[in-house]
Structure 1
């Protein structure tokens, strides 16, 4: 066991779940667990940090959406989860949406409007039930729609249902859409490599359904990848500015040429 000193004997009591828990509690103050304790504290603080971000970033995009609806210029509608909100970045505009928006602005004489309908924690069915209806009732034809969803479904939605809802979602997207696939967590966390084959199968569903509609796919699975060091926010789940830079590269690489041409 990792938390036992090298060569220490493990008695029968320590082999039971209660014994292991008791052993950890007793040994928690030992010097050899100090590093683990500090790491756990940093992680808890990181989770609290991004929880606050989720609210403040949502407030930012709500205010931005009011301006976007009232303005003129090409319209980009964003569907998705917390990564579309930019949670984990140093500001909402340093998420992948903000970084792509800056790249589009540099290519256009008319300012792009971004209507960000994403929600932190959103699963695929919520994109269908809550975000798509707003897009469909918008009364304006968007020049671009991007949709990145599915990460929150991995442990929360049965595989068959997830594949079905992804196909339903893609079937209802307008023709100006670009789908985002999911990053492969290979080598990330303890279970990352175990999850990667399943995430890859979800990506195959995304690519297949998008191809049937003629949609390009932004390959986060290729651009946002190992080595992971330095690419994550303090919660070790959301990307930081650098991680979002790689995601923005994936989106820009997938955009139709007409979107990227100077206007």
Structure 2
């Protein structure tokens, strides 16, 4: 199945089995439209409290939808991290973005009948799912939803600009610094520690987003650690010097004020162009 098909929950009546002297406990209410409003920081809507929406749970590697699938649903990230990818004609998977809490997946479906990318869970996560065929009716019935979606779209455009800014730097080291600063900001928005967090994505996935070789990510992390700006324990990142990391993210080229040996990996002698372009025998 290419997309998650929601099965909207319906209220269930208590079982009519054996009588009991104690009143049976009501089943816990399912996720409501008002819960989605709260996630999107929209104005409260009392009418939304009665509308049950579907929540899909995904494990790492689970797909919300796949590239080329028919656009049928809109998904709002409730928890976890996801990656947005496209596959080239050569089979290479390119990461276009990392999406977390309150990000919207499948927005492209509003402009096309087909989804241009794949959304995959990077860890255990969940998404609210709304059918596109129901979206217009829900927007008319709940003005708060319409406002929330406009804000979400504006936020998506802003984050797309932030991603473009990451890869605008010439130096891969600066791209990495910008990515870590961006992650710090995202964690703060989620109410989590902006200085110590776990990277749910692999270094290869980060390299794909930034447009560099994954070996370069490993070298760049080592360089930032040598500067005393971060501490690394596998995928756990601790930012020790946030102002210093931000300073590393400002320049579009490498920091020339640092000793040359710190940039030995980027200044290593290179073979002549003809030799580098020659195919191995």
TM, length-normalised to structure 1: 0.24
Work out which of the two has the higher radius of gyration on C-alpha atoms and give 1 or 2.
2
Which is richer in strand?
A: 2
Question: Larger % of helix: which?
Answer: 1
TM-score, with structure 2 as normaliser: 0.23
Higher RCO (C-alpha under 8 Å, 6+ residues apart): 1
